[in-house]
Structure 1
C-alpha cells in the first residue's frame, strides 16, 4: 500500500483450537463471567482518574491515580470497538502495526471516522507502533533480528514467550513451513537494517498511516545491541524529521490481540 507492506490477516483458527488457548482463557476468566462492555470500561477508568466515579449512589476512589495529570490512550488492533470508542470519546489512539499489521489502516480510518472533538483533543491524534532493529549495517541488523521469528512463534503457538534466543540458537532451529506461515506477517513487517534503511521505512509507515507519532519497540538478545539500535535510529531520524515534543505520561487501554 503506497510502499507499506500490509500482509494478509493473521489466521487465529489454529491458535484458538490449541490447548494453550483454552488454558489461557481458564486462567484469566472465571466460568460464567462476562466481560464488561469496552466503552463502559473506558468511561469507568476516566471517571476514576477524574474522581467522579459512582455507582448506585456509592462513590469509589482510585488511590493513587485520582486527580493525576494522566493522558488516557486507547490501543487498538483493528477497526473495531477500541478505534470507535477512542474516536467517539475524543481520545488519542494507538494503532498496533507491530502485532496486527494487516489491520493498521482500517484501525486508523475507523478512529478518524468516529472522532468527535472533546476536552482532550480538537482533532484526531494517532500513534502507530512498529518493531525495529537497527545496526551499523543491514547484514548485522538482520543477524540481530533473526531470533525474532522463533520468539513470536512461541507466543502464537503456546501463548507464552520464551526468553529471547541468541542468533546462534535461532539459526539452529528446524523450521516447518506451517510454522513459518504462523509468524510471516510479524517477521515481514519488522523494520530491520542500517539506520538509513530503517528511517526510510518508518517514514513510509508514518506517511501512509498519517501517524502523528511512531511508537518503536526493539528486542534483541543483548541489551547493549538494543540500546545501540535506539541510538542509531534516533540519530538517523533526527537528520530528516523535526524533533517531536517529549511524550506525556500516559495510560493505555486496549484490546487483546494475538
Structure 2
C-alpha cells in the first residue's frame, strides 16, 4: 500500500483484560475497569473491549457479557464490546440473546468480537464445554448459526427457535484471530477482522495479507477493515516505562510456566526472575510491545502502523498501578492525535 498513514489517521481503542493485581481484589479490578473506560471515553478512544479468559487469577473478565454491561452502563458514547467472546465455549443462541440484551440496553454501542480458541487450558475447556469434540473446527457453522439468530432472513426455512432479544438487531460482528483461520473466514464473509498481534507477532502480516486478499464485499463492509493489537506502556521516561512493564513480563513468564498469577508489582530488574530461554521467548512473543517515553513509543507505533497499514489499533496495558495505567493511556491519546 502506497498511501502512508499517520497515527492520527487511524482509530485507537482499548483492550482491557480486567487485571487483578497481587494486592487487590476482583471488586477493585472492576472498579478500575470502569474508571479506565470513563477516562478512555473522555480521551477520545473509539471502543473499549473486554476479553474472555478462564482459570486465570490475574484476569477478571471471564463473564465477559456481564462486564460489558457494567462498562456500557457507566459510560455514554464509547463503543463497548468483546475482544472476544470464545464462541465454541457457548451456544450461539445464548450469545445472540446476551448481546441482543446488551444492544437493547445500550443501542448502537455494542460490538460482538468472536474468537474460536477456548481462552484457557484444556482441562478448563472441558469444564466449560463438557465435550471436547468441538475444538473450534466447526466455528464457521457456529458463526453462521449466530448470525442467523440475529438475522432470520439468512435462514433457508422459517426459524423454529428465535433469539429474543437479538433477532432483528444490528450488532456488529468482528472475527478475532491469532492465525490465518479467522483471517480467511473474515475475508470470505466480508466482516471486520482483529488480529492478536500483541501476543502473536510473527503471524500478523501473513494473516492481514490473507484477510485482505480473500476479502469479499458484503452488506457489512465494502472494503476490508483490519484492527491489530499492541501492548503499550508509556511513562515520562524510558527507564520508568521499562520498570512498569516488568509486571507484564512477570505475568507472561508465569503463564509460560503454566502457573498463571495475579499481576505482580514492577521490579527494578527481571534478572533472576526469568531464565535466558524465557527471556528470549518473551522477547519474541511480546515483540509487538511498545514501551518507553511518549517520544520513543510514538516512533515505534508509527513503524508498526507502516508495517501493518491497520485501520485501527487496540491497545492492552497490563500495568500494576492504576494511576500509572491511566497515565499511560492518557499519554498515548496525546501522541496519536
Structure 1 SS opposite 2:166: coil
* Alpha carbons 2:183, 2:193 under 8 Å: kept: yes
Matches of 1:32 and 1:92, distance apart in 2:
28
1:111 aligns with 2:211: yes
TM-score, structure 2 normalization? 0.59
Counterpart in the other structure of 1:230: 329
Question: Structure 2 regions of 5+ residues with no counterpart?
Answer: 1-119
Counterpart in the other structure of 2:168: 67
Aligned to 1:201, which of 300, 306, 310?
300
* CA positional deviation for 1:38: 1.9
CA offsets 1:92-144 (integer angstroms, 9 cap, x no match): 11111101001000110110111000011111111011010011111111111
1:49 aligns with 2:162: no
CA offsets 1:166-198 (integer angstroms, 9 cap, x no match): 113975853222332442223333100111211
Cα distance change of structure 1 residues 56 and 123 upon mapping to structure 2, 3 Å threshold: closer
* Alpha carbons 1:147, 1:170 under 8 Å: kept: no
Of residues 185-194 and 167-176 in structure 1, the stretch that sits farther from structure 2 once superposed is: 167-176
Counterpart in the other structure of 2:185: 85
> RMSD of the alignment, in Å?
2.5
Structure 2 SS opposite 1:123: coil
1:218 aligns with 2:313: no
Structure 2 SS opposite 1:26: helix
Matches of 1:32 and 1:230, distance apart in 2:
39
* CA positional deviation for 1:63: 3.1
Matches of 1:25 and 1:219, distance apart in 2:
24
* CA positional deviation for 1:156: 2.9
Matches of 1:223 and 1:78, distance apart in 2:
32
Structure of greater relative contact order (alpha carbons < 8 Å, 6+ residues apart): 1
Q: What is the aligned length?
A: 217
* CA positional deviation for 1:69: 2.9
